[in-house]
Amino acid sequence: MVIAQTQTAADLAQTDGSASVPSHVAIIMDGNGRWAKARGLPRVAGHRAGVQAVRRTIEAAIKHHVGWLTLYAFSSENWRRPAAEVSDLTGLLRRFIKSELAELDANGVRLMVIGDRGRFDADLQAELARAEATTRNNTNLTLIVALSYGARAEIVTAVQAALAEITAGRLDIASLDEASFGRLLSTGDIPDPDVILRTSGEQRLSNFLLWQSAYAELVFTDVLWPDFTEEHFAAALAEYARRERRFGARPG
Ligand code: FPP
């Protein structure tokens, strides 16, 4: 992974104050299947090409000084795909973690996983835990991989946790607020995403970070995920910088 030393959005912000770099970009990587179909290839070829786009995107996030990058790699609904495709996806993920861990670590990337990881094979769970432990002190970029993730299930789990605390007398109902509830989500102390980007022309959140996306800028691009490059990433950052964010407040 080679990080090019060219001028980035953050550098521009420092020099003319005009650009605002998002701290956290979350991506719904979509279009692998259509990319493969357009080439007469099996769907797994699209997912393989998607892994290359993941590599490019991690490099782009580091280069552009985005501190947090979340990738929706496997949704809770993806378990309903044919067993062979589920196996292809988990195999790619396993190989990615094994082959990239040393390089991610060398580039200062901290890996975190959100979602119901207990549904994966024990060996993959162990690989994920090892990768998280190895990289936990890195500070260049936090890469959050959403696996077997669904936002509604995540919220229900947090409600159950809050009720358990209240029932045990450890939490007072009145002190449960947005901040304390947010900490019970799988994203815990991770800052909310500033940008949610979806590729392939679809314009839906598909059960991704529903609580956390309350004030996120939504950016959609027609590019299919395997074709996604640093230029597309930079274009999304530029789109974010153009938008005026008011968090519900009236214009001054
Ligand atoms: C959506 O395309 C993409 C996925 C379901 C999986 C994304 C996974 C990867 C990019 C590879 C593994 C990830 C990592 C982090 C190594 P789709 O199959 O729904 O495409 P379609 O809508 O065109 O059919």
**238 belongs to a structural domain:** yes
Distance of alpha carbon 82 from alpha carbon 79, whole angstroms: 8
What's the CA-to-centroid distance between 15 and ligand 1, angstroms? 37
Q: Is 115 in the pocket of ligand 1 (CB under 6 A)?
A: no
* Backbone phi and psi for residue 52, each to the nearest 5 degrees, phi listed first: -65, -40
Question: Residue 195 pairs with which residues in a beta bridge?
Answer: 25, 217
Q: Tell me whether residue 185 is in a domain.
A: no
Q: Is 112 domain-assigned?
A: yes
Indicate whether residue 51 lines ligand 1 (CB < 6 A).
yes
Compute the distance from residue 222 Cα to the ligand 1 centre, in Å. Answer: 15
* 193 contacts 216 by C-beta, under 8 angstroms: yes
177 domain-assigned: no
Q: Which residues pair with 145 in a beta bridge?
A: 71, 113
| Protein residue whose Cα sits closest to atom 6 of ligand 1 | 73
Residue 169 lies in a domain: no
**For residue 93, which atom of ligand 1 is closest to its CA?**
16
Best probe residue, ligand 1, of 1, 27, 32 (max atoms within 8 Å of C-beta): 32
The whole-number pLDDT of residue 13 equals: 45
90 CA to centre of ligand 1 in angstroms? 11
- Does residue 14 contact residue 185 with C-beta atoms inside 8 Å? no
Q: What is the CATH number of the domain that holds 52?
A: 3.40.1180.10
Instruction: Identify the pLDDT of residue 54.
Output: 98
Q: Is residue 158 part of a domain?
A: no
Closest ligand 1 atom to 145 CA: 15
The whole domain housing 98 covers 9-150+193-242
* Closest Cα to atom 3 of ligand 1: 30
Q: Which residues are catalytic?
A: 30, 78
User: In the prediction, which pLDDT does 7 show?
Assistant: 46
Number of domains within the chain: 1
Give me ligand 1 centre to Cα 31, in Å.
Answer: 7
50 in any annotated domain: yes
The pTM assigned to this predicted structure is 0.92
Does a structural domain hold residue 170? no
Alpha helices in the chain (DSSP H): 9-16, 32-38, 43-63, 83-106, 122-135, 151-167, 178-183, 230-242
- The pLDDT, as a whole number, for residue 183 is 96
In order along its 252 residues, the chain shows pLDDT tens digits of 444 434 444 444 444 444 599 999 999 999 999 999 999 999 999 999 999 999 999 999 999 999 999 999 999 999 999 999 999 999 999 999 999 999 999 999 999 999 999 999 999 999 999 999 999 999 999 999 999 999 999 999 999 999 999 999 999 999 999 999 999 999 999 999 999 999 999 999 999 999 999 999 999 999 999 999 999 999 999 999 999 666 667 654
**Ligand 1, pocket-test mutation among 47, 56, 221, most atoms within 8 A of CB:** 47
Residue with CA at minimum distance from ligand 1 atom 16: 93
